[in-house]
């Protein structure tokens, strides 16, 4: 993937199993050729008013971070006046503008758990550029460079044959704008909870735009200017390639949570060579040897199980630590670009790195109001949650009494499996359960946190969806909730995570103990410089 990127299908040889799967599941076409066939449904005024009303319920009553977000970012992001204004303008705007404004209102909350999901089958499509971009030498001397290239034949055959991009080429401008100007223009509709997350998400948006959560690009192509390693400038107009997911188009349903979207990006653009696989695809590992010693690298691409149940994944990692990785001098847990997943998986893994009976779960709270009481009654049957809610009502509190998602006894079931020094290596795309795992490892003193960025993505919540009311009840209308048309959905942060030190994760994230920026050599050679620096730190920790 690091060789010259020549768009000549005749030169493409064998490709991975992932790409073989992509052949049958995905279909590719130039956006300009497909644009007219991808239509948003047409809604009457009453339907749009219903959607706005349901958004008011979610953002005004169920959304747990609203108060803190207003305090952090000001009244300009307040969704309720914006929904009122949108409702008053319905006679003056078309359907596309309606969905854009709805989406923008959610994005303004700066919370990737809280998202407006567009109707199906419009949301079954993605728009791709052939490259991904990463930042190197962050700080003074910072550059944005090509970090990987798509090698899927069906994709490549749609591109101009003279396109000549290499990993390491510096991106100078995009769509006729400097990157700084473009970020400024886009920041209100990207959703990152802090500056570091905003920048990472912005870089992803340059390559990968998902119609599940964003309207298709306005233009059919993007003009880019690159600087080659020899200093020569290179410009090109690159068409957006539209990819449809066949199973989604056929059924009008898909697993469209934010973690799934980031996972799709990782499958296209993030590769790690020479790793050992396991029964569970999200868990891979390798050993590295350098001047500082022998070290293990344990990768979690997400915390959303693909094949095994949570208990079996914990057992699998326990075995890896006690056997294959036991003779190493230290361990790097690489969580970069990990979008999160199941909170109990992240929390249950903590016990493998510290003393038994020392492990404490995170606390979570949710809003206390009548709408949330109704919501609880529709989707939960856990008495502990109702008791927390009712006691908070009795005490006149805004939030429920703190509850754990993972039971303490389950977090203290196993003995410590690894006793050598541990570093958790993450970045600002480490989000949600990834934030929480990093926080738990830091708060318990089980690992040093090293970051490509100075903080993680700051997703401190348990996410739920408006559609859950109807999935659990089996009804089409359940007051005050109404079923949304065409698989439209609202994701929202429902329970707020509280760290063991009493601090929140949302907005702030987990601050790195050590900052390890990316170099050009890291981009070209699988994080070689970063792993060497981390190995040196692990050696020092073991002395």
Mean pLDDT of each 10-residue bin along the chain, 543 residues long: 32 31 74 96 97 98 97 96 98 97 96 95 96 89 93 91 88 93 90 93 95 95 95 94 91 69 82 87 97 98 96 98 98 96 97 96 97 88 90 95 96 97 97 98 98 96 93 79 95 96 95 97 95 98 86
**In contact, 118 and 490? CB cutoff 8 Å:** no
Check whether the bond before 121 is cis (ω within 30° of 0). yes
pTM of the model: 0.92
Please tell me the distance from the alpha carbon of residue 225 to that of residue 235, in angstroms, as a whole number.
Answer: 4
Tokens of 483: 């079923």
Task: Quote the CA–CA distance of 453 and 409 in Å, as a whole number.
Answer: 34
DSSP 62: I
- For residue 52, the model assigns a pLDDT of 98
Candidates 244, 243, 239; CA nearest to 161 is 239
The pLDDT assigned to 257 comes to 65
Assess contact for 499 and 116: CB atoms under 8 A: no
Looking at residue 382, its pLDDT comes to 84
Q: Rounded to whole angstroms, how far apart are CA atoms 144 and 190?
A: 18
Give dist(CA 201, CA 208) in Å, integer: 10
- The per-type count for the chain, helices as H runs and strands as E runs, is 19, 25
Q: Burial, 13: exposed, middle or buried (Cβ in 10 Å; 0-12, 13-18, 19+)?
A: exposed
Residue 413: the pLDDT is 96
């Amino acid at each position: 993937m690091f060789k010259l990127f020549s768009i000549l299908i005749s030169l493409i040889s064998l490709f991975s199993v992932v790409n073989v799967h992509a052949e049958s599941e995905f279909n590719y076409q130039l956006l300009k050729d497909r644009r007219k066939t991808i239509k948003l449904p047409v809604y009457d005024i009453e339907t749009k008013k219903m959607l706005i009303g349901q958004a008011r319920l979610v953002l005004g009553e169920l959304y747990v971070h609203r108060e803190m977000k207003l305090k952090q970012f000001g009244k300009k992001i307040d969704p309720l006046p914006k929904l009122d204004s949108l409702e008053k303008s319905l006679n003056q705007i078309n359907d596309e503008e309606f969905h854009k404004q709805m989406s923008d209102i959610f994005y303004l909350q700066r919370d990737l758990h809280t998202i407006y999901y567009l109707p199906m089958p419009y949301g079954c499509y993605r728009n791709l550029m052939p490259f991904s971009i990463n930042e190197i030498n962050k700080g003074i001397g910072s550059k944005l460079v090509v970090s990987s290239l798509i090698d899927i034949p069906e994709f490549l055959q749609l591109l101009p044959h003279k396109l000549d991009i290499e990993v390491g080429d510096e991106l100078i401008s995009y769509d006729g704008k400097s990157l700084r100007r473009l970020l400024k223009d886009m920041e209100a509709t990207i959703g990152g909870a802090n500056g570091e997350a905003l920048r990472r998400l912005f870089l992803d948006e340059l390559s990968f735009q998902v119609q599940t959560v964003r309207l298709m690009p306005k233009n059919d192509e993007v003009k880019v200017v690159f600087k080659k390693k020899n200093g020569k400038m290179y410009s090109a107009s690159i068409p957006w390639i539209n990819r449809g997911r066949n199973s989604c188009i056929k059924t009008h349903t898909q697993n469209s949570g934010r973690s799934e979207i980031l996972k799709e990006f990782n499958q296209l653009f993030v590769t790690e060579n020479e790793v050992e696989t396991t029964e569970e695809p999200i868990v891979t590992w390798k050993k590295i040897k350098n001047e500082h010693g022998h070290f293990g690298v344990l990768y979690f691409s997400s915390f959303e199980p693909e094949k095994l149940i949570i208990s079996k994944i914990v057992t699998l990692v326990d075995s890896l630590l006690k056997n294959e990785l036991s003779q190493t001098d230290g361990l790097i847990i690489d969580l970069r670009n990990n979008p999160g997943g199941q909170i109990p998986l992240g929390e249950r893994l903590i016990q493998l790195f510290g003393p038994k009976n020392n492990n404490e779960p995170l606390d979570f709270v949710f809003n206390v109001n009548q709408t949330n009481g109704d919501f609880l009654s529709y989707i939960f049957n856990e008495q502990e949650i109702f008791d927390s809610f009712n006691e908070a009502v009795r005490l006149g509190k805004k939030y429920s009494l703190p509850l754990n998602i993972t039971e303490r006894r389950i977090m203290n079931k196993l003995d410590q499996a690894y006793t050598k020094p541990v570093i958790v290596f993450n970045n600002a795309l480490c989000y949600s359960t990834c934030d929480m795992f990093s926080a738990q490892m830091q708060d318990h003193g089980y690992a040093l946190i090293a970051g490509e960025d100075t903080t993680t993505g700051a997703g401190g919540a348990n996410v739920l969806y408006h559609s859950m009311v109807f999935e659990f009840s089996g009804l089409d209308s359940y007051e005050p909730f109404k079923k949304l048309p065409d698989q439209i959905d609202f994701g929202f942060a429902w329970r707020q995570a509280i760290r063991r030190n009493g601090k929140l994760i949302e907005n702030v994230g987990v601050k790195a103990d050590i900052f390890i920026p990316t170099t050009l050599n890291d981009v070209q050679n699988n994080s070689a410089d970063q792993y060497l620096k981390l190995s040196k730190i692990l050696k020092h920790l073991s002395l």
